[in-house]
Amino acid sequence: MPVCELCRREVGEVTKHHLILRTRHKNKKNKKDFARDDVKSRLADLCRPCHKQIHTVLTNKELERHYNSLEALRSHPDIRQFCVWIAKRPADTFVRSRRPAHRRLGRKV
């Protein structure tokens, strides 16, 4: 049974998450900071709830600049809190992701 690399649960299926987003591959900073092979091969196997939560909480620019590794993703307070919560749930748990309150109100942390 596949394991989510973020919450470390055994789940029925995993999705591929590009740690360096495909939409940002052509970005000049990415070309400078990452090798071409790195950009295409840095993937993480994530369960759907974790993958959805990442894209709900973080913008593409934040993912590109600050959260382009599993360790960095785990260090984000909202992602860490979600992982602790989801790890206690069954593999087939359906989750509705919501932006954290400070994001919904347009404030930055």
Residue 83's pLDDT is what?
94
Domain ranges of the chain: 15-96
| pTM, full prediction | 0.78
Question: What is the total residue count of the chain?
Answer: 109
pLDDT at residue number 54: 94
User: Model confidence over 6-63: pLDDT tens digits?
Assistant: 999 999 999 999 888 766 556 676 667 777 777 778 899 999 999 999 999 998 888 8
